[in-house]
Amino acid sequence: MRHLLVLAAGLTCACLWTNCAQGAASMATKKSPAGFARTVLLWPTGAPGTLGKNDGDVPKLYVYPATGAGVHSAVIVLPGGGYRTLSLEREGGEAARWLSARGVTAFVLEYRLGPRYGFPAPMLDGARAVRYVRSHAKELGVASDKIGLWGFSAGGHLAGYLATIHDAGNKGAVDPIDQVSDRPNFAILSYARLSLDPTIPRKTSLEALIGAHPTAAVLETVSLERHVTKDTPPCFLYATTEDGTVNSMNSTKFYDALKRAGVPAELHIFERGRHGSGMAQGLRGLPELAIYPTLVANWMQLHGWMSSN
């Protein structure tokens, strides 16, 4: 399924890359998240379709080893930013440190961005991240069947894409990383843009990812509720009614698709809270949102992805 969808959008992707190579704006300057132990280059010799060797051309993982002994679960955190920028600390490092302190090995993914890189470059980076962690599970001290994603906003869209469109790997690939599956075992989707349903009110577009004039095939591919199946992993969804940037109907529509497919899912929609609440700690006048990470922890403990100790 994944390969068919990527192939259908290949001409659009090539067009976006070509236009950017001819002088479109480059990626915004980013600051690295805090507290990571080391970084991993996902493609040391260059990512597919790369346009250069500068920082924004090189997808990487920031590694946050879990505290405590033993084999741990793993979570790859996907920051948001509309596929134009990356909130690497607020929607990356903060969640990764929280996970690490609770016995979960965490990674923050720095993926390629538009308009320099369009679809499917970020998706290839996300899939590679899952394959990397799974293929290096023993070295990293993580369980290969307990690898999840946590995406925020556009990062939530990327997480939802990887949860719904994946493959079992290419057993004949020369690169051992490509031999393993890129299917995550669970996904946490925080105020995620998940649907392009025109009936859902929206203030933002996915133009940085799919261009100003996407084909019908591309629109079909990135409207993720259409691709939920019984093989989609369990999902936790968090949103707020007040969010005027990504309407919470994205989460309810995706949740309904999960329920119809028989996929375990949990949905929390708070009344108040603007877009970009991150881990929702210390937000002035919004004490009710502070419970959100606890809800995530409870859900992960329920499924055995986080210790209750």
pLDDT tens per residue across span 10-40? 433 433 433 333 333 334 446 899 999 999 9
Q: Across the strands, what pairs with 41?
A: 60
Is 128 in contact with 122 (CB distance < 8 Å)?
no
69-89 pLDDT, tens digit each? 899 999 999 999 999 999 999
What is the structure's pLDDT at 5? 46
* Domain 2-303 annotated CATH 3.40.50.1820: yes
Return the exposure string of 66-102: e unless at least 16 CB atoms fall within 10 Å of the residue's CB, then b.
beeeeebbbbbbbbbbbbbbbbbbbbbbbbbbbbbeb
pLDDT exceeds 90 at position 62: yes
pLDDT of residue 309: 72
Band of pLDDT at residue 67, cut at 50, 70 and 90: confident
Measured distance CA(56)–CA(46) in Å, rounded: 12
Q: What token pair was written down for 38? A: 């080391």
Helix (H) or strand (E) holding 257: helix 249-261
Instruction: Collect all residues with Cβ–Cβ distance below 8 Å to 57 and sequence separation of at least 6.
Output: 47, 50, 51, 112
The closest alpha carbon to 18, from 110, 118, 124, belongs to 118
- The end-to-end CA distance of the chain, in Å, is 40
**Percent of the chain residues topping a pLDDT of 70:** 90
Q: Where are the domains of the chain?
A: 2-303
Residue 6: pLDDT band with limits 50, 70, 90: very low
Which residues, at least 6 apart from 29, have a Cβ–Cβ distance to it below 8 Å? Answer: none
Provide the token pair at 198: 């025109």
**Three-class SS of residue 295?**
helix
Rounded Cα–Cα distance for residues 187 and 184 (Å): 7
Mean pLDDT check: name the lowest of 99-113, 193-207, 292-306: 193-207
Residue 284: pLDDT band (50, 70, 90) is confident
Sheet holding 60-64, edge to edge: 38-41, 60-64, 104-110, 72-78, 142-152, 186-190, 235-240, 265-270
Q: pLDDT tens-digit profile of 107-145?
A: 999 999 999 999 999 999 999 999 999 999 999 999 999
The answer to whether 119 and 139 are in contact (CB under 8 A) is: no
Q: Which run of H or E residues covers position 296?
A: helix 292-303
- pLDDT surpassing 80 at residue 1: no
C-beta neighbour count of 205 within 10 angstroms: 14
Cβ–Cβ under 8 Å, residues 190 and 253: no
What percentage of the chain carries pLDDT values higher than 90? 82
Q: Helix, strand, coil proportions of the chain in percent (round to 5)?
A: 35, 15, 45
Q: Structure pTM?
A: 0.92
- For the CA atoms of the chain, what is the radius of gyration? 18
In whole angstroms, give the CA distance from residue 304 to residue 272: 30
Closest among 189, 192, 211, 190 to 202, alpha carbons compared:
192
pLDDT digits (tens, 9 = 90+) for 188-244: 999 999 999 999 998 778 999 999 999 999 999 999 999 999 999 999 999 999 999
Instruction: Compute the mean pLDDT over every residue in the chain, rounded to the nearest whole number.
Output: 90
